[in-house]
Amino acid sequence: MEKGKINTLQYDPGLCNRCGMCSIVCPHRVFASGEKSALLVDRDSCMECGACQLNCATGAIRVDSNVGCASAMMKAALKWRKSSAPCCA
């Protein structure tokens, strides 16, 4: 992992077609509209949910959505749900 890089987000502006979907779907405003391509404005706020990658038709964005903050939150929620579920026996 590169020094200063705290997540798996990778962005290739050369592949961007400026559709704007990354900035629309990102819950933490990691991307913004730019003149020639989307701008990666706040990489450190990326929670690695994968929404940007799923909505990028050109493959300009890659992120491992099985790690990071989003994954930890989902695993914690599922664990809590399982442990607090009423007994069906």
Assign domain 10-83 to its CATH architecture. Answer: 2-Layer Sandwich (3.30)
Closest listed residue to residue 52, CA positions, set 35, 41, 65, 42: 65
Q: What is the pLDDT of residue 1?
A: 43
**Domain ranges, ordered by start, for the chain:** 10-83
Whether the per-residue pLDDT at 19 is higher than 70: the answer is yes
Asked whether the whole model's pTM tops 0.85, one would answer no
Q: What is the pLDDT of residue 78?
A: 76
Closest listed residue to residue 20, CA positions, set 45, 54, 59, 52: 52
For the purposes of burial, counting CB atoms within 10 Å of the CB of 49, is it exposed (0-12), middle (13-18) or buried (19 or more)? buried
Q: What is the pLDDT of residues 28-82, one digit of tens each?
A: 999 999 999 999 999 999 989 899 999 999 999 999 877 666 666 767 777 776 6
Q: What is the pLDDT of residue 7?
A: 87
